[in-house]
Structure 1
Amino acid sequence: MKTVKIHIVTPDGPVVETEADMVIAMTETGELGILPGHIATVAPLQIGGLRIKKGNDTKIIAVHGGFIEIRPEIITVLAQSAETAETIDLARAKHAAKRAEIALQAKKDEASFLSAELQLKRAINRINAAENRF
């Protein structure tokens, strides 16, 4: 079966370099399934899980924004931050979600609210990736 190379890179360096049968990404317009030979595309990514499927295995990466560039033979993800499910500290992510929920309820000002909302989305994304909920 054909595969496609995938590289996930953040400002801190490479996160994942592997091959896949299929990649599923959360773009601004919805989920995008990518197979080898996909037409060239560039799309902005949402905070969400990126699933890398190879055979019967699925690897989940928590991606926090950025862009995906698709070419027929290679997929490059340029993310603001990205974490493999294995590297996520689940207890820390749950604690971050609780702190963000408290900050949301405080409703100090719009900037604080938007910051807390973003922190909550990222924490939930990490929790979902760590618990394999995608």
Structure 2
Amino acid sequence: MANTIHFEIVTPDRKLLSEDVEYVGAPGINGEFGVLPNHIPFLSALGIGSLYYKQGGKKYYVFIAGGFAEVSPEKVSVLAEVAEKAEEIDIERARKSADRAEKRLAQQKEKVDFARAQAQLARSVHRMRCRESAVAEGTCRM
């Protein structure tokens, strides 16, 4: 179709997604970016956050943590360190992970790896937001 772009998400473990979509919005390291069919080519590092794509007029969400996006006029390829579809996110596990990270940050001990705890907290919070966004859109059930 002329109004779609091929979209793939690949992690070290699996090919998560390979679909023709209408739009892709992703958390670039320097801010969020959007891609429509026939976009100019570019490469971007990815941050932590919710990537979403539109298919059939609906938004679908995927949690992303690190990696790269390569955009061409016909295709968006995401090579992600971590990627989970919103419906795969275990919200209770994410809450527990966020609680553990907050406790580590509050301890303020020298042995606590502050940057690692901050990253864990960010991943957990963004996983929960991704899942909540998908539920709000009606593309994922609780």
1:24 aligns with 2:25: yes
Kindly indicate whether the alpha-carbon contact (under 8 Å) linking 2:26 and 2:34 is maintained by their aligned counterparts in 1.
Answer: yes
Deviation at 1:16, TM superposition (A): 1.1
Any gaps of 5 or more consecutive residues in structure 2? 137-142
Q: Could you tell me which amino acid in structure 2 is paired with residue 30 of structure 1?
A: G
Deviations 1:44-70 (A, max 9, x none): 011011011123211100000110000
Aligned-pair RMSD on alpha carbons? 1.6
- Tell me the equivalent position of 1:62: 63
Q: Could you tell me which amino acid in structure 2 is paired with residue 53 of structure 1?
A: K
- Tell me the equivalent position of 1:13: 14
Q: For residue 39 of structure 2, give the secondary structure of its aligned residue in structure 1.
A: coil
What is the TM-score when the length of structure 2 is the normalising length? 0.89
Q: Distance in 2 between matches of 1:60 and 1:109?
A: 37
Deviations 1:37-93 (A, max 9, x none): 001100001101101112321110000011000011010000001000000000110
Sort the Cα spacing of 1:110 and 1:73 in 2 relative to 1 into closer, same or farther, 3 A: farther
Sort the Cα spacing of 1:110 and 1:76 in 2 relative to 1 into closer, same or farther, 3 A: farther
- Tell me the equivalent position of 2:36: 35
Over 3 Å off, 4+ runs: none
1:128 aligns with 2:129: yes
Deviation at 1:110, TM superposition (A): 7.8
Any gaps of 5 or more consecutive residues in structure 1? none
Q: Distance in 2 between matches of 1:51 and 1:71?
A: 18
Task: Tell me the matched-pair count.
Answer: 134
Q: Could you tell me which amino acid in structure 1 is paired with residue 29 of structure 2?
A: E
Q: Distance in 1 between matches of 2:129 and 2:111?
A: 27
- Tell me the equivalent position of 2:103: 102
Q: For residue 113 of structure 2, give the secondary structure of its aligned residue in structure 1.
A: helix
Deviation at 1:12, TM superposition (A): 0.4
Q: Distance in 2 between matches of 1:9 and 1:94?
A: 26
Deviation at 1:107, TM superposition (A): 1.7
Deviation at 1:108, TM superposition (A): 2.1
- Tell me the equivalent position of 1:82: 83
